[in-house]
Amino acid sequence: MLSEDQVAFYRENGYLVVPDVVDAETIAEMRALIDGFVEKARFVSENDSVYDLELTHTPEKPRVRRIKTPHKHHPRFKALAADSRITDVLASLLGPDIRLHGTKLNMKSAGYGAAVEWHQDWAFYPHTNDDLLATGLLLDDCDIENGPLMVLPGTHKGPTYDHHAEGRFCGALDPEATGLDFSKAVPLTGKAGSMTIHHVRLVHGSSLNTSTRSRKLLLHEYAAADAWPLLGVKDYDDFSDRVVRGTQTNVPRVVPAPIRMPYPRGDHEGSIYENQRGSARRYFAVYEEERKTTAA
Ligand SMILES: O=C(O)CCC(=O)C(=O)O
């Protein structure tokens, strides 16, 4: 459970870092599982439903940028997303009934871990109310050099920015058009086992990993169970199965919040990394090796 001060801080700023949420044994188990996934990426040459590959990936040197929806690919990931060490913390922010919206594991490997441009998760999946957040379980120690998640405090109370380029959804906002002061961004650093929390409307991004250490961040997106997705429910059984705490409801709570729909869809669908290839203006640096590959 969070303290009253932590809840007040989250409501005001839109983020939190909670230390020691999971133990060293769980971290070691997750790392071993991930190493197995990366090893199997040798046999994959293109992005698919499991892997988002770095542009410089080869079978000899497998380079995984993201494991997509890990909870669908291994029961241990699914169990962790429903682990009460995480969901009990979130009950202080979302209420007792909580649904998992999605999961992703962003790898940010040493030497080539790619940046993620500034965006609001809300631009990807608007709901009937905005009681949604994402947690980031730090599977490695994370400091300013290995590409921490960066957030702009208080922006969860502001507008929903346009995440389109040339009329198509690109999953990134135009840093110049927003007038936001990115020098005020706060890096969410901490020891492995800590958990970051950011509100669904908070502007965030993250820079290159310029260190010799990896930065694995296991992201879980959660919604209050009475927040229903405006893009619709494709599979009601799966939707209900994703209630990780409390009970399901078919009575959505509707609260006004600024919304932009992520349509028309972008040229590069599949994950935020693919989406953001369509963004016209970049804020974060790109590795030279990746720049050459994109240009080629
Ligand atoms: O990996 C990160 O640091 C940021 C990831 C993120 O914001 C996202 O995948 O939506």
Q: What is the pLDDT of residues 230-259, one digit of tens each?
A: 999 999 999 999 999 999 999 999 999 999
Residues contacting residue 197 through CB under 8 Å, at least 6 positions apart: 10, 15, 16, 17, 18, 89, 90, 93, 133, 134, 135, 136
Q: Which atom of ligand 1 is nearest to the CA of 106?
A: 1
Mutate to test the pocket of ligand 1, among 106, 122, 273, 275 (most ligand atoms within 8 A of CB): 106
Region 16-43: mean pLDDT is: 96
The response to whether residue 116 sits with its C-beta less than 6 Å from ligand 1 reads yes
The response to whether residue 67 sits with its C-beta less than 6 Å from ligand 1 reads no
Buried-exposed string 159-198: b where 16+ CB fall within 10 A, e elsewhere:
ebbebbbeeebbbbbbbeebebeeeebebbbbebbbbbbb
CATH for 4-295, among 3.90.1170.50, 3.40.1010.10, 3.30.365.10, 2.60.120.620? 2.60.120.620
- What is the pLDDT confidence band of residue 208, given thresholds at 50, 70 and 90? confident
> In whole angstroms, what is the distance from residue 64 CA to residue 285 CA?
19
**E-assigned strand segments in the chain:** 15-18, 51-53, 64-68, 98-106, 116-119, 132-138, 149-151, 164-165, 168-169, 186-188, 195-199, 204-206, 217-224, 243-245
The response to whether residue 106 sits with its C-beta less than 6 Å from ligand 1 reads yes
Q: Which atom of ligand 1 is nearest to the CA of 204?
A: 7
Q: Which atom of ligand 1 is nearest to the CA of 119?
A: 7
Q: Atom 3 (ligand 1): residue with closest C-alpha?
A: 149
All structural domains of the chain with their residue ranges: 4-295
The response to whether residue 206 sits with its C-beta less than 6 Å from ligand 1 reads yes
Residue 46: is its pLDDT beyond 50? Answer: yes
User: Which residues make beta-bridge pairs with 167?
Assistant: none
DSSP 161: P
Q: Each residue of 17-26: pLDDT tens digit?
A: 999 999 999 9
Q: Which atom of ligand 1 is nearest to the CA of 149?
A: 3
- What is the pLDDT confidence band of residue 295, given thresholds at 50, 70 and 90? very low
The response to whether residue 87 sits with its C-beta less than 6 Å from ligand 1 reads no
The response to whether residue 149 sits with its C-beta less than 6 Å from ligand 1 reads yes
pLDDT for 113: 82
